């Protein structure tokens, strides 16, 4: 067949190139962050940059394997793969704890983190399940089964405990939302218990997931900003309360998202989009206001508790140590940055930002390349995410589409939470920045995730179901 | 909304987060500068530059406290390569074990920091920082070492300074330096570990002047510890400034001569310039060489030795030793009696030994004669008249009123109170007051007869040698004094304000002449008790004292000033357990005054005798 001759012929080169560029930039960044003057050689395998290259090599090898194996294997063996991941998650609970969590399988630096690979397993299982049912007739049962697929690895991960990966697993809820598996049946069930009420569909139940996340996201940002004031060095004397900053930003967002959406949306939908944007702005402003004034109205000790949880406390040498230093590293980058290998706060050697080669890898990048670098990184991620969505939407097989959405959401979560930690928008939960953070497990799992997607996409022609 | 269009919800989500993050990053990185400052705060390194301490000159501009350079051998662990422990140990003259243990001492001594967020513990010790490996290396030792240091990368010498004393005298005045302790660092942020602080004497009293101002340079460093830039453009940098030099009133040759005279004796000499209150010399015998207390090593070696010496060389006798003033105290009693109008200069009393013993001498027909003969009964009589003025019928009530007034007089002469001299260790002596005797005997249970010993400087009264020297000053000035002080000028600013204020006693200056005349007779007339203090062509006024004490032989005391008119020096000499005042203290005063006034000694025989005397 034709397919045999062009093993790499149907690959989506756009996605692959973005992926490759990010991996290469990632290596350069680790080399700068973890540079050891005693071992300047890039391929020195005793150093973190040498090891990172080794992991990339490993990942490429795994990628080749993925390409040699027919894509149908994932659907066929979805359940064994999923179970294998679960078994690993169970075994890891009996390993000695490292830094307070039983997350590592293996010895010392050569260990792997099963939780990273469980993401792929869960994505495949979820894709397999959703492709096997008719979502148009979703029932309480289908919702529950889909949630159980999610629930088991989540519980095992929480036992480690690994709060970061737990948060990432909630990304699957969005995939389920996209595929129409919502909590609507459950909500309907409950609502219809009320005598005289007979709904076929509730708006809240259908859009429960995004609404919930918008509320959480907005609340956190509002809380983080509510005690701040915004000043401008070029506009002395002007002090804007943080809350108005949030509202202002929302307004700018709405306007710009409207214009961006005009390009994506068919003409007949434009009115609807306008309505949605206006409604979205009004509602989010409302949520933000409620949270802000509600928070201001709280008693002192209640406020304290929330502030402690969010790491809002002005305690740069205590609770808020890591984030304060990470923010200082990012914030001191300026427009063009301090230059390659000139990070003064974020370098591993100076030890000012703990974990600056893994979870806080964005620090050296943002410090050395400034806003230009931050913007480039954001654009790369956005481009990759949109490309994956595009790929997802062109799949004929439900399995492929669901899997692609899983990849997009996982990557998005990692990006959002990881960068959020660095800019004070998220509590410090340790999750890596895909393709940038040093570490074998994350490098391999993200790469394999992309390779499987590329493979599935390259075979989208021999569609079956 | 069908499932396919739900993709827009997700796209909007992505865009929303991407856009918000971009705005936030732009604000943090480009607009808001506070993070830049915070980053510099985190990454800055303070480079402290400690200036050498202010130097000290004597009254004629001779440097008596100087700074000597010495070296610290610094270590930067990150730069150490191919380290040969045995060769290094040989170079610095240690054993290899000591080199190793010193390394761990530095490393562990820095303590640890526990990051509360990650729970990880990191050491404060940093491989890229410099730590002093060997401290206080002398120049010649360093010269031997320096050529070989290049074989030991990571080690280098750093120049710093330490005190040195060109004259081996005045240790009791100058004090010494030693390393600050933890409490001091906590109390005063000026200090950091390894800094020196004044421990006694002038070094301690003038610590804030002498230490100067530290220079602090803030540098932001990159990962490789290369300086990138000055923190905040050098806005917060300060230049190091050496403390101002102190100019003392002390004459170092006189001080040295005094210490020589007092060899093998215990006691003290305090000499003051009456016109200014500047202390010319303050000998505390036995004395020691201030160079013994330079540097950590020698302090550790010498301090315990001197501390345990039974002769107590570290005890600041002129300031802290409270002796009964003996007969020198009679001078003030005469003055007070005149001021109170209970006698006139011509009042005489027969020397009846019924009340108190006295030596054989003609009856004193005047106050001057009484001083000349140091007649004990005379002073009993006049002090009784001061205390018992007959204002109340009852003796005891009358004595209470009298003593109250008398105590005030004594205070005005600087007795019973701490003089505010610029040194550490001053004590107040004792002038017993009404409260004191009430406690001792009960209210209205005492009268003059109970406390009469005070009138001849025995009994309860106590005074320090410094107070007696000050008394000599008051007599020389006929009624006033400047608080005795060492520092004539801090830099170019002159002395502290309190030393520019003239203090007057409660006795009018016209009453002084007859007492001073008495003092002249003590030295210069036949029958005077202090003829040993006579100087040819210069009229010396003095008063002997022979102080009974429970520690054995009487203390030999002499106070004097000279010349009689326009006096240039006032002096008090105490020699413990030496006997009669005229025999020892008077000649020593004489030699000191000659040395100061004439710059030579006329009576070599006397000098020889005093130098040889061993009264220990």
Q: In this structure, is residue A463 part of a structural domain?
A: no
Q: A16-23: which pairs have CB atoms within 8 A and are 24 or more residues apart?
A: A16/A450, A16/A454, A18/A380, A18/A383, A18/A384, A18/A387, A19/A384, A19/A435, A19/A447, A19/A450, A21/A380, A22/A380, A22/A384, A22/A434, A22/A435, A22/A436, A23/A56, A23/A435, A23/A443, A23/A447
pLDDT of A320 strictly over 80: no
pLDDT of A450 strictly over 80: yes
Interface of B with A in 204-223 (CB under 8 A): 220-223
pLDDT for B355 equals: 67
B91 and B25 together in one domain: no
Q: In this structure, is residue B490 part of a structural domain?
A: yes
Q: In sequence order, which residues have a C-beta less than 8 Å from that of residue A395 and are 6 or more positions away? A: A401, A404, A456, A457, A460
A278 and A382 together in one domain: no
What is the nearest CA distance from A219 to chain B, expressed in angstroms?
14
pLDDT of A10 strictly over 50: yes
Q: In this structure, is residue A465 part of a structural domain?
A: no
B150 and B268 together in one domain: no
A265 and A235 together in one domain: yes
* Tally of domains in chain B: 3
Q: Which of A210, A230, A378 comes nearest B21 by C-beta?
A: A378
Q: In this structure, is residue B15 part of a structural domain?
A: yes
Compare A413 and A45 and report the one with higher pLDDT: A413
Whether A134 contacts chain B with CB within 8 A:
no
CB contact under 8 A, A324 and B38: yes
Of A306-315, A443-452, B34-43, B90-99, where does the model show the most confidence?
Answer: A443-452
User: Where is the domain boundary, B206, B227, B248?
Assistant: B248
Q: CA B214 to CA B195: how far, in whole Å?
A: 11
pLDDT for B215 equals: 77
B282 and B232 together in one domain: no
Show the low-confidence residues of chain B (pLDDT under 50): 223-224
A318 and A307 together in one domain: no
A298 and A341 together in one domain: no
B206 and B337 together in one domain: no
User: Where is the domain boundary, A296, A311, A326?
Assistant: A311
B22 and B157 together in one domain: no
| Residues on chain B touching A338 (C-beta within 8 angstroms) | 228
Flag the least confident range among A22-26, A136-140, A356-360, A448-452: A136-140
A212 and A157 together in one domain: no
pLDDT of A308 strictly over 80: no
pLDDT of A300 strictly over 70: no
Q: What is the DSSP string of A32-61?
A: HHT--TT---TT-TTSHHHHHHHHHHHHHH
Q: In this structure, is residue A352 part of a structural domain?
A: yes
B21 and B121 together in one domain: no
What is the nearest CA distance from A451 to chain B, expressed in angstroms?
22
CB contact under 8 A, A393 and B38: no
CB contact under 8 A, A412 and B7: no
Q: In this structure, is residue B543 part of a structural domain?
A: yes
End-to-end CA distance of chain A: 20
Q: In this structure, is residue A194 part of a structural domain?
A: no
| Residues on chain B touching A253 (C-beta within 8 angstroms) | 16, 19-20
Compare B16 and A122 and report the one with higher pLDDT: A122
Element (H, E) at B72: strand B63-76
B169: its two tokens: 């005298």
pLDDT for A2 equals: 44
| Residues on chain B touching A261 (C-beta within 8 angstroms) | 8, 12
B390 and B475 together in one domain: yes
Q: In this structure, is residue B39 part of a structural domain?
A: no
Q: What is the DSSP string of A327-375?
A: HHHHHTTTTT-S-TT--SSS-TTTTSSTTTTTTTTHHHHHHHHHHHHHH
Q: State pLDDT tens for residues B477-518.
A: 999 999 999 999 998 888 888 999 999 999 999 999 999 999
Assess whether the previous peptide bond of B425 is cis (omega < 30° from 0): no
Q: What is the DSSP string of A404-439?
A: HHHHHHHHHHHHHHHHHHHTTSS-----PPTTTS--
Number of continuous H segments (helices) and E segments (strands) in chain B:
22, 20
Average pLDDT over every residue of A16-31? 93
B305 and B361 together in one domain: yes
B239 and B269 together in one domain: no
CB contact under 8 A, A319 and B24: no
Domain extent for B23: 6-32
A426 and A296 together in one domain: no
Whether B16 contacts chain A with CB within 8 A:
yes
B266 and B315 together in one domain: yes
- Cα angle B503-B508-B512, degrees, rounded to a multiple of 5: 100
pLDDT band at A310 (very low <50, low <70, confident <90, very high): low
User: Where is the domain boundary, B248, B275, B293?
Assistant: B248
Q: In this structure, is residue B20 part of a structural domain?
A: yes
A324 and A432 together in one domain: yes
CB contact under 8 A, A385 and B14: yes
* Tally of domains in chain A: 2
A343 and A435 together in one domain: yes
B57 and B155 together in one domain: yes
Q: In this structure, is residue B37 part of a structural domain?
A: no
A89 and A228 together in one domain: no
pLDDT of A45 strictly over 90: no
Q: Which of B13, B122, B221 comes nearest A344 by C-beta?
A: B221
A147 and A230 together in one domain: no
CB contact under 8 A, B24 and A329: no
pLDDT for B329 equals: 92
B467 and B547 together in one domain: yes
Q: In this structure, is residue A188 part of a structural domain?
A: no
Q: Which of B5, B9, B29 comes nearest A335 by C-beta?
A: B29
Whether B227 contacts chain A with CB within 8 A:
no
The single-letter DSSP state of residue A266 is: -
Q: In this structure, is residue A266 part of a structural domain?
A: yes
Q: CA A432 to CA B611: how far, in whole Å?
A: 86
Q: In this structure, is residue B1 part of a structural domain?
A: no
What is the nearest CA distance from A363 to chain B, expressed in angstroms?
12
CB contact under 8 A, A374 and B25: yes
The single-letter DSSP state of residue B381 is: H
Q: In this structure, is residue A256 part of a structural domain?
A: yes
- Mutate which: B4, B8, B24, B45, vs A, most A CBs within 10 A: B24
User: Where is the domain boundary, A259, A288, A311?
Assistant: A311
User: Where is the domain boundary, B218, B248, B278?
Assistant: B248
Q: CA A367 to CA B446: how far, in whole Å?
A: 87
Q: In sequence order, which residues have a C-beta less than 8 Å from that of residue A198 and are 6 or more positions away? A: A192
User: Where is the domain boundary, A262, A281, A311?
Assistant: A311
Whether A465 contacts chain B with CB within 8 A:
no
Q: State pLDDT tens for residues B182-207.
A: 778 777 777 876 788 998 899 999 99
CATH number of B89's domain? 3.90.1310.10
pLDDT of A319 strictly over 60: no
pLDDT for A210 equals: 77
pLDDT of A392 strictly over 50: yes
A13 and A141 together in one domain: yes
- Mutate which: B8, B17, B40, B76, vs A, most A CBs within 10 A: B17
Counting one residue from chain A and one from chain B, the pairs whose CB atoms sit within 8 A come to 190
CATH number of B323's domain? 3.40.710.10
Domain extent for A261: 200-311
A77 and A174 together in one domain: yes
Q: In this structure, is residue A192 part of a structural domain?
A: no
> In percent, how much of chain A has pLDDT > 90?
28
Interface of B with A in 126-165 (CB under 8 A): 126, 128
Q: State pLDDT tens for residues B86-131.
A: 888 888 888 888 888 888 888 887 666 665 555 556 666 777 667 7
Q: In sequence order, which residues have a C-beta less than 8 Å from that of residue A15 and are 6 or more positions away? A: A384, A387, A388, A391, A450, A453, A454, A457
């Amino acid at each position: 067949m034709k397919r045999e001759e062009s093993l790499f012929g149907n690959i989506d080169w756009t996605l692959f190139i973005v992926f490759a560029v990010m991996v290469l930039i990632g290596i350069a960044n680790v080399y700068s962050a973890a540079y050891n003057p005693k071992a300047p050689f890039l391929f020195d395998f005793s150093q973190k940059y040498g090891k990172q290259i080794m992991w990339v090599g490993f990942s490429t090898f795994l990628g080749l394997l993925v390409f040699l194996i027919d894509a149908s294997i994932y659907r066929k063996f979805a359940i064994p793969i999923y179970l294998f991941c679960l078994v690993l998650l169970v075994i890891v609970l009996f390993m000695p704890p490292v830094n307070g969590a039983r997350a590592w399988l293996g010895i010392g630096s050569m260990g792997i983190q099963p939780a990273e690979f469980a993401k792929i397993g869960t994505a495949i299982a979820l894709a397999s399940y959703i492709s096997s049912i008719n979502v148009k007739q979703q029932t309480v049962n289908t919702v529950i089964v889909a949630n159980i697929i999610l629930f088991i690895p989540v519980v095992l991960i929480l036992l480690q405990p690994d709060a970061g990966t737990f948060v990432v697993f909630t990304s699957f809820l969005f995939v389920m939302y996209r595929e129409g598996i919502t909590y609507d049946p459950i909500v309907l069930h409950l609502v219809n218990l009320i005598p005289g009420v007979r709904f076929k569909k509730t708006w809240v139940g259908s859009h429960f997931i995004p609404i919930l996340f918008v509320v959480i996201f907005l609340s956190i940002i509002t809380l983080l900003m509510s005690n701040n004031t915004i000043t401008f060095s070029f506009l002395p004397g002007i002090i804007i309360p943080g809350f108005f900053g949030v509202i202002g930003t929302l307004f700018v967002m709405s306007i710009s998202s409207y214009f961006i959406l005009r390009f994506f949306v068919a003409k007949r939908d434009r009115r609807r989009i306008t309505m949605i944007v206006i409604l979205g702005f009004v509602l989010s402003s409302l949520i933000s206001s409620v949270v802000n004034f509600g928070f201001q109205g709280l008693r002192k000790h209640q406020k304290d508790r929330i502030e402690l949880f969010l790491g809002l406390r002005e305690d740069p040498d205590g609770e808020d140590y890591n984030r304060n230093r990470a923010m200082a590293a990012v914030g001191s980058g300026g427009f063009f940055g301090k230059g390659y290998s000139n990070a003064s706060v974020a370098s591993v050697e100076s030890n000012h930002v703990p974990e600056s080669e893994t979870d806080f890898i964005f620090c050296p990048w943002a410090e050395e390349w400034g806003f230009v670098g931050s913007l480039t990184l954001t654009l790369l991620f956005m481009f990759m995410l949109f490309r994956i969505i595009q790929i997802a939407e062109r799949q004929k097989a439900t399995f492929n589409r669901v899997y692609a959405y899983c990849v997009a959401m996982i990557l998005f979560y990692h990006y959002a939470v990881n960068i959020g930690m660095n800019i004070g928008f998220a509590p410090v939960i340790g999750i890596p920045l895909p393709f940038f953070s040093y570490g074998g497990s994350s490098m391999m799992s993200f790469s394999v995730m992309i390779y499987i997607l590329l493979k599935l996409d390259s075979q989208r022609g021999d569609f079956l179901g | 909304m069908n499932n396919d269009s739900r993709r827009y919800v997700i796209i909007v989500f992505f865009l929303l987060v991407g856009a918000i993050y971009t705005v936030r990053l732009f604000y943090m990185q480009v607009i808001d500068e506070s993070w830049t400052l915070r980053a510099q705060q985190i990454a800055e390194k303070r480079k402290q530059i400690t200036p050498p301490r202010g130097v000290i000159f004597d009254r004629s501009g001779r440097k008596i406290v100087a700074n000597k350079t010495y070296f610290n051998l610094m270590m930067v662990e990150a730069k150490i390569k191919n380290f040969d422990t045995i060769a290094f140990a040989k170079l610095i003259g240690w054993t290899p074990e000591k080199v190793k243990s010193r390394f761990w001492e530095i490393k562990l001594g820095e303590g640890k920091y526990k990051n509360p967020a990650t729970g990880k513990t990191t050491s404060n010790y940093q491989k890229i920082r410099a730590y002093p490996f060997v401290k206080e290396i002398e120049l010649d030792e360093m010269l031997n070492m320096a050529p070989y240091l290049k074989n030991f990368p990571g080690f280098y010498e750093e120049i710093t300074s330490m005190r040195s004393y060109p004259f081996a005298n005045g240790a009791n005045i100058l004090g010494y330096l030693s390393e600050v302790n933890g409490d001091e660092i906590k109390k005063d942020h000026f200090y950091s570990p390894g800094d020196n602080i004044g421990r006694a004497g002038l070094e301690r009293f003038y610590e804030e002047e002498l230490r100067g101002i530290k220079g602090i340079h803030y540098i932001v460093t990159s990962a490789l510890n290369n300086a990138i830039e000055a923190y905040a453009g050098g806005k917060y940098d300060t230049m190091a400034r050496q403390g101002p030099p102190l100019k003392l009133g002390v004459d170092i040759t006189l001080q040295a001569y005094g210490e020589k005279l007092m060899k093998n004796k215990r006691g003290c000499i305090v000499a003051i310039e009456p016109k200014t209150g500047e202390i010319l010399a303050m000998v505390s015998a036995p004395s020691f060489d201030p160079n013994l207390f330079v540097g950590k090593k020698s302090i550790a070696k010498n301090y315990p030795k001197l501390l345990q010496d039974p002769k107590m060389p570290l005890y600041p006798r002129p300031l802290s030793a409270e002796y009964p003033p003996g007969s020198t105290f009679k001078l003030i009693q005469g003055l007070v009696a005149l001021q109170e109008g209970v006698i006139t200069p011509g009042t005489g009393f027969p020397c009846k030994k019924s009340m108190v013993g006295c030596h054989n001498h003609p009856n004193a027909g005047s106050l001057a004669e009484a001083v000349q003969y140091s007649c004990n009964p005379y002073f009993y009589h006049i002090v009784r008249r001061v205390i018992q003025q007959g204002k109340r019928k009852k003796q005891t009530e009358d004595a209470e009123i009298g003593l109250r007034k008398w105590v005030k007089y004594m205070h005005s002469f600087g007795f019973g109170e701490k003089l505010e001299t610029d040194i550490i260790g001053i004590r107040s002596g004792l002038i017993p007051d009404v409260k004191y005797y009430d406690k001792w005997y009960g209210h209205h249970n005492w009268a003059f007869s109970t406390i009469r010993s005070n009138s001849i400087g025995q009994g309860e009264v106590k005074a320090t040698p410094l107070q007696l020297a000050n008394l000599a000053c008051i007599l020389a000035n006929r009624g006033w004094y400047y608080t005795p002080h060492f520092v004539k000028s801090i830099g170019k600013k002159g002395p502290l304000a309190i030393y520019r204020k003239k203090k007057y006693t409660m006795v009018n200056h016209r009453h002084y002449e007859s007492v001073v005349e008495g003092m002249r007779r003590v030295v210069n007339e036949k029958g005077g008790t202090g003829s040993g203090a006579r100087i040819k062509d210069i009229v010396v006024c003095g008063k002997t004292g022979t102080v009974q004490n429970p520690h054995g032989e009487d203390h030999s005391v002499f106070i004097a000033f000279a010349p009689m008119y326009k006096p240039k020096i006032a002096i008090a000499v105490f020699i413990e357990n030496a006997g009669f005042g005229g025999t020892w203290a008077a000649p020593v005063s004489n030699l000191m005054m000659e040395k100061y006034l004439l710059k030579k000694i006329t009576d070599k025989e006397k000098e020889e005798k005093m130098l040889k005397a061993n009264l220990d």
